[in-house]
Amino acid sequence: MSDDLRPDDVPGQHDLGPAVEHFDEVVDEQLERVRGNAVLDRVFTTASHVGDFSLIWHSINLALGIRNRNPRRIVMFASLIGLESLIVNQGIKRIFKRSRPTLTGEDGLEVRTPLTSSFPSGHASSATFAAVLLAHRTRNPVAALIYTAAFTVATSRAYVRIHHASDVVAGVVTGGLLAAIARRLIRRAGADDLL
């Protein structure tokens, strides 16, 4: 199998319909216009790296937990984002088994080769999940920076061509839904101080 996979290379592995395929192609064409820009290449490659294993989100969680002197929040967030990752990477992705647009990312942009399938984007899901749970623990401009970081990490996955654009959109929706469920469950348990 070649490094540069196209939608018809692996039958049944990524057919989400012609409208989704068209959306992915249009977005990829737009991104191709800016790929190769040294600054953007560095920004999005770095964003993709810091999103690996939710490193950026664990770091922000730790910083906010220390600042707020609430170690229980640190543990709760780490547990929740671990559960989110399990649901997305070992649950939802196994249902869709979608092939990635490339196996190793865009030529010249070094990123870690993921072991899971493409749909939805785990980076986009965890970024959205983390932003929803972390941003409310602080005020602007820090909250805005958290959301900007989440957007950048999510977008980076299509930019480096390790995900289709629709994978990223689905990841954002998935992360948002899982964050809403997590917040509701924690509030029902009367543990608002852990959010």
Residue type, 48: S
**Which pLDDT score is estimated for 105?**
83
Confidence category of residue 166, pLDDT binned at 50, 70, 90: very high
- The pTM of this model reads 0.88
Spatial distance between the Cα atoms of 59 and 65, rounded to a whole number of angstroms: 10
What is the CATH architecture assignment of 40-194? Up-down Bundle (1.20)
Asked if residue 182 has pLDDT above 80, the reply is yes
Asked if residue 121 has pLDDT above 90, the reply is yes
**Which pLDDT score is estimated for 113?**
84
Q: Is residue 3 exposed (0-12), middle (13-18) or buried (19+ Cβ within 10 Å)?
A: exposed
* Residue 130 vs residues 65, 90, 96, 99: alpha-carbon distances, Å: 14, 18, 23, 26
What's the average model confidence in pLDDT over 115-134?
95
State the chain's mean pLDDT as an integer. 90
> 166 is written with which tokens?
């629709």
Peptide bond into 141 cis (omega under 30): yes
